[in-house]
Structure 1
């Protein structure tokens, strides 16, 4: 069970200063799985999960900025900045940054999403101070030099080209645009060739200063870690860079966005010479904080989340029409998406879409059977636990929980919440979500007559 929070205060010097507030968020037995949070002066939050039985630790810094925070002309700036923070600081060159972690066998990387960015390093527990120093230095002391911006521009354009060459990946960007249009959530995380070519070092620096303030950051560490030591090392690193203000925390302003998705029944087709047609049939989902998300997770698992799911059985096992077919959900601060993906031969695309649409309509009207729901609950519970078997996954869980939800659940509490989902809740969310008229995105060698017929799938 999640414990009640306990609060302590700490001072790091004899000088009068704002205090750090520490809370125990989850009380693990014998310290195992204990999650603590310390809020430093100025608003920087540090969360840790202790797992003394391992010999590794993963350290990450989450920034509350993603592609949805960009204006049209800044599309791709968040991801561009992610690349640039590896290019050098006042203390370290790009080679120094990479070689420091390589020298101890560590791993370091980053990723950018629609609503957040994360930089992380996984190391032996004895090398955690090094990881903290390097990652904090990157986040607070990046130089954003003109020569680095110019050099990295080519790398990012190659990354965009690589994505364009993978239609199975590209169709997800197309689906976001189909559902959300030319809005921050509907535009691609990587940006476009035009927006990347137009970005300047000065604009990226301003973006960096605006969004990488400590009030917008969450530090997360998981593994064989000592919370107090991590807090001291993080505080020292941020103070050395001058990034930590010795003032009371300023609350982070919640995102304000439109909850309105585009009109249902939209079809967007990109005619491209590929061996397969890649399609996504979908509709509005749920925001990530919606309490119905647990029931939607069960529904998604039963409908298209595994080899026993309806879509896999109907499309692949019984008819052999596709190798890959699945459903998925994407939850954002104020809206969400539900989609069914399939990749198949172009000649089979209409049959595949008809089967998928029929299954969506069937489940929306009649729901799932009790056996399907029971099996999906077990599958979802098991995959949840198995997905948390390494320190990187634990760091992701606590970092994202702090940044996106502002609260933490123990694994036992999560399993209890999944197990508590009832058949009626699943059937209700099926009606609410799958009852919408779907929209469709498709990429492949689909000529005019074939493309015209795709409208039948959303009629």
Structure 2
């Protein structure tokens, strides 16, 4: 498997990786703009734009876009995150040129028909309503807002209903003009692909785009922390806690990820064993370490009953404190193995591999070898993980979101006091 990279004269980047033995390929365009690139009055427009990409172009109707890919047995989709928007397809090897042509068409030639805008506006408003009715979804939006208050990074990706209800055709076109320059696009493909063919197609489809004169710089993130408590008559109380972690270029990200896996990354993790298996305080509990360009979040989530929420919250704090002192070499080795296995198993999929290629190019401008990544994971020591845990428990800032029957839940200040006691 060989990774090849090219950059067109206008800044458009191409990265490909052939995977022997496959008859299909995953191909997509990753745009390095997402929710955090929006102004406050634009909140939700990146996601709206992603939806509108499939609603018709100068060459194809919405139905023809779907039929072009599905007639050959393929699959096309998109997603919006806080730092990226991706448009991608999975097709058989002979249909890769068709897939790229469709992707280029929806990105470069959208018509933004007013009737389609209104239809999709209704769809997105339904999506927002569904998210609000899904406690273990909406609680993470609230946690993000508390961690990064009054900042682009803290706002929801879907946006508030009142904003979505007011977006116009001009708003969509303006966001494309601001954020969809060729230097913000990465064509990534993995599987049964021909790198030379893709390079030629990319030059034909994207080479004419004028380069951007001024680069866009998102607002810098500043973790502040805070508490959100929303009382509602649900069956379960939902608890989410976050601390600031390293950004994805920080070498400490590997220790943070190993720590998160050891704490709550599987059935053998500390939080799962102590709070679920030993005490029966919850059904779901996990920890994760996420990262952005200039910050990160170490997050713990659990769902429990109202009368057990206090015990669950305080015992979570106790486990975080204890791990800073006695995280064992065996636990760290197990977490490293889980992290490596997850990486390697995921890369057996061309879709996951294309995603990794695009993200690595966006972050580093190149694709580190798998061997280099494995070496960095293996280099994380027990001391590194304990040190990360010790730093975590002495942080002055934390964020917490609670949802459901949470009247008797401890306050964030009480939990922080217990953490440093």
TM bin (shorter chain): over 0.9
Spell out the pairing of 1:295-314 with structure 2 (5 A cutoff).
Answer: 295-314=255-274
Secondary structure at 1:185 match in 2: helix
Please point out which of 172, 197, 210 is paired with 1:204: 172
Q: 2:401 aligned to 433, 441, 447, which one?
A: 441
- Cα distance in structure 2, aligned partners of 1:273 and 1:400: 41
Deviation at 1:204, TM superposition (A): 1.3
Please name the residue that 1:159 is paired with.
Answer: 127
Map of 1:424-435 to 2, 5 A cutoff?
Answer: 424-435=383-394
In structure 2, relative to structure 1, the CA distance for the partners of 1:152 and 1:426 (3 Å cut) is: same
Distance of aligned partners of 1:311 and 1:252 in 2 relative to their CA distance in 1, 3 Å threshold: farther
SS at match of 1:343: strand
Aligned-pair distance for 1:258?
Answer: 3.1
In structure 2, do the counterparts of structure 1 residues 289 and 453 end up closer, same or farther at CA, with 3 Å as the change threshold? closer
CA gap of 1:341–1:123, structure 2 versus 1, over 3 A, is same
CA distance in 2, matches of 1:102, 1:121: 10
- Deviation string for 1:127-179 (max 9, x for gaps)? 11111110111111111222222111100000001111100011000100111
Distance 1:299 1:162 in 2: 33
Aligned to 2:378: 419
Structure 1 partner of 2:414 = 456
1:215 aligns with 2:183: yes
1:327-378 deviations in Å (ceiling 9; x for gaps): 01121111111110001112211111111111112223x1511111111111
* TM value normalised by structure 2: 0.95
Give the corresponding residue for 1:4: none
* Equivalent residue for 1:261, pick from 207, 223, 237: 223
Say whether residues 1:358 and 2:323 are aligned partners. Answer: no
Q: Deviations over 1:55-87 (max 9, x none)?
A: 110001011111111111100000000000111
2:36 is equivalent to residue 65 of structure 1: no
Match of 1:323 in 2: 283
Partner of 1:111: 79
Asked whether the 8 Å contact 2:313–2:410 carries over to 1, the reply is no
User: How far apart are the structure 1 equivalents of 2:278 and 2:75?
Assistant: 43
Structure 1 residues 223-238: aligned runs within 5 Å: 223-238=191-206
CA distance in 2, matches of 1:180, 1:156: 24
In 2, distance between residues paired with 1:254 and 1:431? 36
The answer as to 2:153 corresponding to 1:195 is no
1:254 CA drift (Å)? 6.9
Determine the structure 1 residue equivalent to 2:14.
46
The separation in 1 between residues aligned to 2:173 and 2:78, in whole angstroms, is 19
Distance 1:183 1:397, change over 3 A: same
Question: Which string of whole-angstrom CA distances, capped at 9 and with x for unpartnered residues, describes residues 398-437 of structure 1?
Answer: 0111112322112222112111112222222222234324
2:141 aligned with 1:173? yes
Deviation string, structure 1 residues 298-324 (Cα, Å, up to 9, x no partner): 111111111110000011111111111
Q: CA deviation at 1:379?
A: 1.4
Q: Which residue matches 1:406?
A: 365
Return the alpha-carbon distance in structure 2 between the equivalents of residues 146 and 172 of structure 1: 33
Aligned length: 416
Q: For 2:52 and 2:182, how far apart are their aligned partners in 1? A: 19
CA 1:434–1:128: 2 relative to 1, 3 Å:
farther
Which residue of structure 2 lines up, in the alignment, with residue 18 of structure 1?
A: none
CA RMSD of aligned residues (A): 1.7
| Ranges in structure 2 where 5+ consecutive residues have no aligned partner | none
> Could you say which residue in structure 2 is the equivalent of 1:292?
252
Per-residue Cα deviation, 1:16-49 (whole angstroms, up to 9, x for no partner): xxxxxxxxxxxxxxxxx21111111211001001
